[in-house]
Amino acid sequence: MTRHLVDIASLSAVQLREILNFSIEAPKAALSGKGVALIFEKPSNRTRHSMEMAVVQLGGHPVYTRGEEIGLDMRESVEDVTRIMAGYHAVIAARVFRHSFIERMVAVSDVPIINMLSDASHPLQALADVITMEELVGSVSGLTVAWIGDYNNVARSLTEAVCLLGGTMSLGCPSAYDADDDELARLASLGGSVRQCASPQEAIAGADVVHTDTWISMGQEKESAMRRKIFSKYCVNASLMALAAPNAKFMHCMPAHRGEEVSADVFDGPNSVVIQQGHHRLTAARGALKWVMEKS
Ligand code: CP
Ligand code: NVA
């Protein structure tokens, strides 16, 4: 059966661990002589470079294409693009606005589809986050991980990963930008434990690792002024970090906005592991590509 990486929650805990194990193994020629399509409807630094270099390290050839060049559902349908590219490439990876585009690709593709960020999720980021936490802090099953800010695509994938691996997730999000009851029930069914807290102070209390992300995700630019106001009490600064466990690590998927979701002293401080985290996007990309290339 063709393997896809759409969401962390579409994996079993065993499959998630398989990808993590593949990530830390030495590169193999899993893509020797093969192409990988990298389609980007949104900008990227980390995702593009880590995926391109992972493809090269695995012996393949990446082909980067901007969304406007292909025109998903504008120049031609998502299905036609996917079926044609599946004849050229061993893997199709896409960064899209609408998660449904990824699902439509999966429905017609006989090669693996990898979600490189959608409005719903960012599984490659969550893989790098787990690799970083396990390397620098300890097994996720023993950790309390706080998320401060918007319950967005990055938050959803991270929470799914922490739950699947048996950890504790503590969410501190403004109301209406948090996980609703159905979402909390879905997360609870994955394993581990998840709690939604009334304030960022409550969410961060005793946490071993603290994550945040931009208040304004790509595509939400028109909401910038309103979001800056709503999220103004959710800046991860030194006084908030002081409530976490001693020497708690600070993490951020980046791009970061110093003075908004995180203060400069925390982002650039001694407990920040954001650069290691960003570098582990390459580790994670190798693991994901190797995993989808294996037949179930
Ligand atoms: N974290 C992340 O996905 O970064 P880019 O948008 O730069 O790829
Ligand atoms: N939540 C952010 C993540 C960027 C990597 C966005 O979707 O823009």
Angstrom distance (rounded) from CA 202 to CA 198: 7
CB 22 within 8 A of CB 290: yes
Burial class (CB in 10 A: 0-12, 13-18, 19+), 225: exposed
pLDDT per residue of the chain (296 residues) written in tens, 0 to 9:
999 999 999 999 999 999 999 998 877 899 999 999 999 999 999 999 999 999 999 999 999 999 999 999 999 999 999 999 999 999 999 999 999 999 999 999 999 999 999 999 999 999 999 999 999 999 999 999 999 999 999 999 999 999 999 999 999 999 999 999 999 999 999 999 999 999 999 999 999 999 999 999 999 999 999 999 999 999 999 999 999 999 999 999 999 999 999 999 999 999 999 999 999 999 999 999 999 999 76
Q: 285 CB less than 6 Å from ligand 2?
A: no
Angstrom distance (rounded) from CA 170 to CA 145: 6
- Nearest protein CA to atom 7 of ligand 2, as residue: 217
- Nearest protein CA to atom 7 of ligand 1, as residue: 45
* Catalytic residue set: 95, 122, 125, 213, 253, 281
Residue with tokens 């970061």: 256
Strands (E), 152-244: 168-172, 193-196, 209-212
Per-residue model confidence (pLDDT) at position 211: 99
Per-residue model confidence (pLDDT) at position 295: 73
Ligand 2 atom with minimal separation from the 44 CA: 5
Among 253, 274, 276, 282, say which to mutate for ligand 1: greatest number of ligand atoms within 8 Å of CB: 253
As beta bridge partners, residue 92 has 37, 113
- Nearest protein CA to atom 1 of ligand 1, as residue: 253
- Nearest protein CA to atom 6 of ligand 2, as residue: 217
Q: 253 CB less than 6 Å from ligand 2?
A: yes
Q: 47 CB less than 6 Å from ligand 1?
A: yes
Q: 44 CB less than 6 Å from ligand 1?
A: yes
Per-residue model confidence (pLDDT) at position 26: 73
Q: 252 CB less than 6 Å from ligand 1?
A: no
Best CA proximity match to 282, nearest among 158, 125, 134: 125
Quote the ligand 1 centre to 72 CA distance (angstroms): 21
The 10 Å CB-count burial string (b at 16+, else e) for 236-271 is: beeebbebbbeebbbbbbbebbeebbbbeebbeeee
Domain annotation for the chain: domains and CATH numbers: 8-122+280-294 (3.40.50.1370), 123-278 (3.40.50.1370)
Residue 176 burial (CB count, 10 A)? 8
Q: Starting from the CA of residue 116, give the closest ligand.
A: 1
Angstrom distance (rounded) from CA 169 to CA 147: 8
Q: 217 CB less than 6 Å from ligand 2?
A: yes
Burial class (CB in 10 A: 0-12, 13-18, 19+), 293: buried
Ligand 1 atom with minimal separation from the 218 CA: 6
Per-residue model confidence (pLDDT) at position 296: 62
